[in-house]
Structure 1
Amino acid sequence: PELVTVSVGLSASKLREIKEVKIDNHVTGRVVLLRNMKAHYPYVQINIKRCHGDGCDTRIHGVKAVGFKLVKEHGITVMDASALWYLQMLTSTVSMNLPQAPALRAVLL
């Protein structure tokens, strides 16, 4: 190939072209089409627009796609911290009062 374009999108029907790559005729190894993408696109389309020598004797020996999606970890929220604190206080209160109130044991357990 001499000219390759890359289109991406969230669905197959909503692709948009984001990159055009011109490949010299002396290149025989790997060609990187996209690198360090900032957004995640589940659909990637590679379009061969033009070939060297009018397409005579043009070969693609393989396509390799390497990618990952960064997932941001959600930290603990104020509600989570409040619920955790409440449960800790409830647990410690029950633990302290169980030896003094045996009837409470039957109700809780």
Structure 2
Amino acid sequence: MSKTTCTYWNPLTPAHQHRWQWLDGLDGQVEQLILSHDPVTGEISRLTRFHPGADTQLFGATVHDHPEEILILSGHLWDEAFGMWLETGHYASRPPGEVHGPFRTEEGCLVLDLSFPQRSVE
């Protein structure tokens, strides 16, 4: 099996609002929309939307055993681990084991997130 595919569509239109899902424990703050997924490898492409005032401090920092890439599409997001505000256009290609977060935003933020669990460090 391979990663799901689709033709052109605009996930940001109101017609697709029903596809967004709240992240566990972050109802009303952070939601995701899966763009494509490979159920065998776990590879995923998604949008993550941080609503104004979102704060993930209760969950602490995050670290993965696999690489991921992120691109800030709009807004501002504070990354505590790096002590910096991320803004539209900021990109990161995170290696396995890189600590990031917790995150907070005042105005909201939209992030493209690509995750590659099949490339885990064992």
TM-score by length of 1: 0.25
Identify, as 1 or 2, the structure richer in helix.
Answer: 1
TM-score by length of 2: 0.23
Identify, as 1 or 2, the structure richer in strand.
Answer: 2
